[in-house]
Structure 1
Amino acid sequence: MTRRPSNIVLIGMPGAGKTTVGALLARRLGLAFADTDRLIEHREGQTLQQIVDTHGYQTLRAIEARVLTQLDCRGDVIATGGSAVYSDAAMTALQRHGVIVHLQVDLETILSRVQDAATRGLARAPGQSLTALFAEREALYAHYAEFSVDASGDDQFAVADRVIATLTRAHALPSPLA
C-alpha cells in the first residue's frame, strides 16, 4: 500500500460485527469510533427501521449515501451500514481517507447472528430474504475491500487482532499509528 490512510473503514453484512469490532479497534489503536448507522439515526431523528417503514429501503440507501459522502473523519474507525456499498460515490469518499476492510462472514453465521432482520432496519427490497441479500452484497464487498478479514468466529477480540495484524503487515494502519 503506497498511501497512509487516516481511517479504518469496516464494511460487511449486518451481523458481521462491524460495530463491536470497530469499537474494539478504536480503543486498542487510540482512534475515535464512528458508527454510521447511529449517525444516520441521530441526523434523521428516526431509527433505520422507521425510515424503511415510512419511506422505503431506497430512501434509507440514499440517506446513507449522502451521510457517507459528507462524512469528514480523520483518525477514526468507521463502522458503515451494510448497504454502504450500493453507493459508488460513498465508497469513493470513504476510500479517500481510509483503508476499506471487509469483515467477511459466512452465510450460516449471518443467519445465526441476525435474528431481528424484520426490525433491524435493513435496506433490502420488500420480501428479500437475508440469504438473497447476502448473495447480492458479497460481490460488492469484494469489489470495494482492500482487505478481507474472516469474522465468522464468535471471538470479536480475535477478529480485531486479525484486522490489526493484516493492516500492520500491509503497512496500512492509519498514519499516526504507522
Structure 2
Amino acid sequence: MPPVITGYVRFVDAVNYRIGRIVMYGIFIIVGILLWSSISKTFFYPSLWTLEAAQFAMVSYYILGGPYSIQLDANVRMDLFYGNWSNHKKAWFDVITIFFLIFFIGVLLYGAYDSTRYSILYGERSPTAWRPYMWPIKVTMCIGFVLMLLQAFSELFKDVARIRGEQL
C-alpha cells in the first residue's frame, strides 16, 4: 500500500484508539449520575438534571466509542456464514459491505450537521425543566460520526491490503 494510505491508517487508528480508551471510562460517569439520581430521589428533592445528563453521557459514550469498537472488530455481526469463511473471503465481503456503512454514516453526518447548525444559530434548548443547550451533544455527535467515517475508510484500506496479501 502507498505510504500515504499506511500513514492515514496508522493516524486514524491511533486517534480512535486513544479516544476510545478515554471514553470507555465514561461508564463510571454515567453510573455516578444515575447513582446520584437514585440518592436524590430517595433522600432529597429529585434533581431535574440527572436523567438528561445521563442520556447525554450515554450518547457521548456510544458515539465516541463507536470508532474504537469498529477498530477492535467488536461490532455486532451475523456470523452464520461469515465465521466459517477464510480471511481472504471475509476481506472481500467487508470491502463490499463497508460501502453501505460509509453511506449510512454519511447520511447521519449530513443530518447531524444540519441539526447542529440549527442548534447553534438559534440557541436550541431541550424542552425539559432543566433546559440545557442542545448544541454540545450535537457537536459531540458530529465529531463521533466524522471519527466513525474516518475509521470506516481505515478498515476499507486494511481489507484491501488483506486482499492483496499485505498487512497494514
TM-score by length of 1: 0.30
Tell me which protein shows more strand as a share of its residues: 1
In our comparison, the structure showing a higher alpha carbon Rg is 2
TM-score by length of 2: 0.31
Larger RCO: Structure 1 or Structure 2 (Cα < 8 Å, ≥ 6 residues apart)? 1
